Chain A
Amino acid sequence: MDKETLITQLKEIVKPYAKNEEALLNINENTDFVNDLKINSANLVDVVLDVEEQFNIVIDNESMERMLNVKSAIEIIEAKLGAQ
């Protein structure tokens, strides 16, 4: 799966939680979930659960802590998918 497809899928996942629509529209590798998209930090666990469901992967606690932006999310998803 290429990066663009991954970002498009991530965009759909974070859409219900993102409070900043402009940042969501311009989502890219450098987008931060809390600072840019203004996602409530409590909702980050929901984003992780939705990612797990979408890609059929399990994200461990250490990875979960790191998953604060698009870049780390892509890294984690790619690593988990690669390990399957």
Chain B
Amino acid sequence: MNAHVPAGKRRGGHVVRILTIGAHAFTQLARMKVFHFLALFAVLAIASNFLNLPQHEGPESAGAAVLRSIKSWSLGAMTLFSVVIAVAATALLIPKDIEDRTLYTILAKPVPRIDYLAGRLLGVLLLLFVSLLAMDLLMTAVLQARTAIVLGEQRDMAAALGWPHDAVESLLAETRAAGPGWPLQGAVAAVFVRAAVMASIALLISTFSTSTLFTTVVGLLVYFIGHFQADARDFWLQGGEAGEGAAARLASLALALVLPDFQLFNVIDAVIEGSVVPLATLGRLVLAGGYYVVLFTLASWFIFAEKEI
């Protein structure tokens, strides 16, 4: 055996350990064939392309409707997949480690518990990132191809109808805006941040939950109720003026303080409908998500540090 090096000196930093545990969790999830759902997404994204939408209006709006449908389907699927994966994968990891006793071997190494938690979370975030990236690329490709087709059709139609130049340009510009572009990437970023927050919440729940099922159900419940956090907050802020009951005000305050504000991420819908999220706003949204993730991870640590395993 080699000459003895004081172990503490070469233990390495938090970052290395977190990355190691994260990569480990990622491979573990990847080999659990989580990525198979991507095939399902591909089918959805391509199928949305051929969905024959009812034609309420003139030919000029048909193209825009199909582009909107592709975006709705793709981002809707991303929303569902990302939230479900975030909750289910996180809920699965720690109980599985306890069951397999891998948790013992990891924590019997000089690994602080916060590193373990952060690493596991990182693994799920990596999984989400890779999945969303793949879905995003697929959506952009489908949208790109379809936009080119629609633009061609609209040019032909406008030529056949003898539209004036400015009307054609206006229509084409509108179609291009409905196609792939940076605003859409902003929406995907929002989907990712929201899923990251959900993963950290699932992490928190799983530190005191007794089963994966419990974590998943409570996690999804928090997701749902989190959408009304802003309303609870407004209710508390305005309750004083309106003279609402004290109990109701306190309840809404508690809700506002504990839950994250998921309504913030509803900008995704605005983007699908054609709005643009300015970069600065997106940055603040990402910061907000980061705050939630750090907050819930720290809270998980407080519980997990005391946990007897």
Q: Do A and B bind each other?
A: no
Binding site for A on B (CB under 8 A): none
Binding site for B on A (CB under 8 A): none
